[in-house]
A and B are shown apart, each in its own frame.
Chain A
């Protein structure tokens, strides 16, 4: 299944949005590499959801104005996006950097959210000041980044020789955008832990068992810090389990959604009212 791709204006910013399938809305927030390798995962989700996957401003073909620089900008951008699309009862799924974006959105407002899926997220800090929670990719060579990110290193290889000029431009743009948002403090918001109690919708924390960018222990601490969170490990996967093990990841999301069903009914009733009010 291939997505439709459109360029639209959100908060005055040219935004590239991919859409697959029909059903309840699932907003996918891509990792720092951009939307690159998750087609199989998103296509599988699209059998159950209306999958909406924007490129964050600065990534892909979404533009980033010079004064759009922080995670706060990204959070308000996505709150605007959900309002503009009139989305309610949203399943918000974020991978790595996209998980951090999801947390920044959720601590500001979860009014449009039904549940959150965090896949090997970053964004929070737990350890003492002289110990890094998150492997600093800026201190590593490209080969080392791939070794740390993938269980199956072959899946992480980027084939420059066969990439189009447009793909190389997008890789270059993504790298600048990620650095703008995440260079320092590196890949986290020092104040995030202070506000995680505001994440008040059912949350599934998924983790690649062999992730060497952020450890399984880090993932367990994220789950413990959110009031209604489940933690699930995906075996034989690194930092991107949805890319390395798309079927297992989708199954975990569907099982979680079903189990969270009871609560969801009452919430979706609320959202029905809200949607009418907003329309």
Chain B
């Protein structure tokens, strides 16, 4: 099995992470950011991404809004810069918030344009987005999944229709003249990716023949991948590991100790990402009425940590993600850190556990990890780990996927 590796980072603004802040998202005034420093940060990350192209890696970019944890308010803008600056890397948006964008045809135009700029290296990932994103987007949270799917269907039809305008009168979107120029470079259209954080979330993604990505899910990513593989077999399109993607924190160094220090810096992301004022965490309709009622019940239990904010260790116990140590998160398969040999062994173990995952979204920078350490991290990974992922033997495959297809 070949494992593609995509470099990823959030373009954080750690200077604004004051320890006494209650919310790093939505209501943190932008006065807390110096645009000159922001320019340095954004250019630094563009440089690091451009370097990945030379190292034989691919590039994955996400977006968040109104936050000190991620300055990328659009993933398509930096990807369009990189479409020109890079030569070989595949470029993935993971993803565009299509349920929160009022104009899916504008999204179709942007992705087609990046695909043409890059001469066919674009992969279009779409996400429902974190719950707090509906506030800056002013997007109706109720019925968001239906709007997401309608936007996706419309984008796909817009990218694959080449015989003149069509009209669209949907539940959420209305157009009289859909006729996207330029049409995408890849035919019939660039590969699609969705994200799920739910152990049973693979079905609707397999139904649409899109790849499935998941972030820092550790062992529960296996359950998601199982549900995806099962459904892909049911609908007669059995898939291999190339349709699965896992985002994890990866830190390589010449010593284990140094690598773990790097991982700890990158984990600044995990420690700050959940710092959001409570009213933004669970907008109405984001979870089911039943789940919301259960969440109300547990909201008055002191120190209660919901399952989604915990990770399962090898021994089956669960720990809160936000306060976990590097060693615990390595055990939980959310972090791969150590010498190149150690990281390779950790990745091999992860692949055996989940039955083969063909795409590693490598969070090689996060928090306060500086440029020199980031470059060293990626270079060591590309030189000593990446070559060994080109023909990785997966010894344990889930019964839903024949072992042969994992090779």
Which A residues have a C-beta under 8 Å from some C-beta of B? 66-67, 69, 138-142, 160-161, 163, 165, 168-169, 171-173, 175-176, 178-180, 183-184
Does B346 interact with chain A (Cβ within 8 Å)?
no
Are the C-beta atoms of A160 and B297 separated by less than 8 Å? yes
Does B29 interact with chain A (Cβ within 8 Å)?
no
Closest approach, in angstroms, between the C-beta of A49 and any C-beta of chain B? 33
Are the C-beta atoms of A176 and B284 separated by less than 8 Å? yes
* Residues in B neighbouring A67, C-beta threshold 8 A: 171
| B:106-164 near A, CB below 8 Å | 135, 138, 140-143, 146
Are the C-beta atoms of B279 and A141 separated by less than 8 Å? yes
* Cβ contact of A180, chosen from B140, B146, B299, cutoff 8 A: B140
Closest approach, in angstroms, between the C-beta of B181 and any C-beta of chain A? 32
Are the C-beta atoms of B135 and A139 separated by less than 8 Å? yes
Give B283-297 as 1s and 0s: 1 = Cβ < 8 Å from A's Cβ atoms.
111000110110011
The closest CB in chain A to the CB of B279 belongs to A141
Does B318 interact with chain A (Cβ within 8 Å)?
no
Closest approach, in angstroms, between the C-beta of B364 and any C-beta of chain A? 36
Are the C-beta atoms of A183 and B300 separated by less than 8 Å? no
* Residues in B neighbouring A138, C-beta threshold 8 A: 135, 279, 283
Are the C-beta atoms of A179 and B142 separated by less than 8 Å? yes
The closest CB in chain B to the CB of A167 belongs to B293
Are the C-beta atoms of B277 and A141 separated by less than 8 Å? yes
Closest approach, in angstroms, between the C-beta of A130 and any C-beta of chain B? 15
The closest CB in chain B to the CB of A144 belongs to B279
* Residues in A neighbouring B285, C-beta threshold 8 A: 176, 179-180
Are the C-beta atoms of A183 and B27 separated by less than 8 Å? no
| B:235-292 near A, CB below 8 Å | 277-279, 283-285, 289-290, 292
Are the C-beta atoms of B279 and A168 separated by less than 8 Å? no
A41 to B289, CA, bound (A): 29
Known contacts A160-B297, A183-B142; A172/B289 CB under 8 A: yes
Are the C-beta atoms of A184 and B140 separated by less than 8 Å? yes
A108 to B140, CA, bound (A): 26
Known contacts A138-B135, A176-B285, A180-B285; A171/B296 CB under 8 A: yes
The closest CB in chain B to the CB of A158 belongs to B296
The total number of A-B Cβ pairs within 8 Å is: 61
* Residues in B neighbouring A172, C-beta threshold 8 A: 289-290, 292-293, 296
A140 to B277, CA, bound (A): 9
A141 to B283, CA, bound (A): 12
Are the C-beta atoms of B284 and A160 separated by less than 8 Å? no
- Return 26 A-B CB contacts under 8 Å, by A number: A66-B146, A67-B171, A69-B143, A138-B283, A142-B279, A160-B297, A161-B300, A165-B297, A168-B293, A168-B296, A169-B289, A169-B290, A169-B293, A172-B289, A172-B290, A172-B292, A172-B293, A173-B289, A175-B292, A176-B142, A176-B284, A179-B142, A180-B142, A180-B284, A180-B285, A183-B140
Are the C-beta atoms of B279 and A183 separated by less than 8 Å? no
A90 to B305, CA, bound (A): 51
Closest approach, in angstroms, between the C-beta of A172 and any C-beta of chain B? 4
- For the complex with contacts A141-B278, A172-B290, 4 further pairs of A-B residues with Cβ separation under 8 Å are A160-B299, A165-B297, A173-B289, A179-B285
Closest approach, in angstroms, between the C-beta of B142 and any C-beta of chain A? 4
Known contacts A168-B293, A171-B296, A176-B289; A139/B279 CB under 8 A: yes
Closest approach, in angstroms, between the C-beta of A240 and any C-beta of chain B? 20
Would you call the interface of chain A mostly helix, strand, loop, or mixed?
helix
Are the C-beta atoms of A160 and B278 separated by less than 8 Å? no
Are the C-beta atoms of B293 and A179 separated by less than 8 Å? no
For A139, A141, A176, which residue has the most chain B Cβ atoms within 10 angstroms?
A: A176
A138 to B285, CA, bound (A): 13
For B143, B283, B296, which residue has the most chain A Cβ atoms within 10 angstroms?
A: B296
A169 to B293, CA, bound (A): 5
For B140, B279, B297, which residue has the most chain A Cβ atoms within 10 angstroms?
A: B279
A163 to B143, CA, bound (A): 27
A180 to B283, CA, bound (A): 11
* Residues in B neighbouring A184, C-beta threshold 8 A: 138, 140
A140 to B293, CA, bound (A): 20
Known contacts A141-B278, A165-B293, A168-B293; A180/B138 CB under 8 A: no
Known contacts A173-B289, A176-B284, A179-B285; A160/B142 CB under 8 A: no
Give B350-386 as 1s and 0s: 1 = Cβ < 8 Å from A's Cβ atoms.
0000000000000000000000000000000000000
Closest approach, in angstroms, between the C-beta of B275 and any C-beta of chain A? 14
A161 to B301, CA, bound (A): 10
* Residues in B neighbouring A141, C-beta threshold 8 A: 277-279
A180 to B143, CA, bound (A): 8
Closest approach, in angstroms, between the C-beta of B265 and any C-beta of chain A? 32
A69 to B140, CA, bound (A): 11
Are the C-beta atoms of B141 and A179 separated by less than 8 Å? yes
* Cβ contact of A139, chosen from B27, B142, B284, B290, cutoff 8 A: B27
* Residues in A neighbouring B278, C-beta threshold 8 A: 141-142
A169 to B288, CA, bound (A): 10
* Residues in B neighbouring A183, C-beta threshold 8 A: 140-142
Closest approach, in angstroms, between the C-beta of A205 and any C-beta of chain B? 29
The closest CB in chain B to the CB of A179 belongs to B284
| B:4-49 near A, CB below 8 Å | 27
A163 to B95, CA, bound (A): 40
Known contacts A138-B135, A169-B289; A160/B283 CB under 8 A: no
* Cβ contact of A179, chosen from B146, B283, B296, B300, cutoff 8 A: B283
* Residues in A neighbouring B297, C-beta threshold 8 A: 160, 165, 168
The closest CB in chain B to the CB of A174 belongs to B284
The closest CB in chain A to the CB of B294 belongs to A168
A175 to B292, CA, bound (A): 10
The closest CB in chain A to the CB of B300 belongs to A160
A179 to B283, CA, bound (A): 9
The closest CB in chain A to the CB of B296 belongs to A168
A142 to B284, CA, bound (A): 13
* Residues in B neighbouring A178, C-beta threshold 8 A: 284
A175 to B289, CA, bound (A): 9
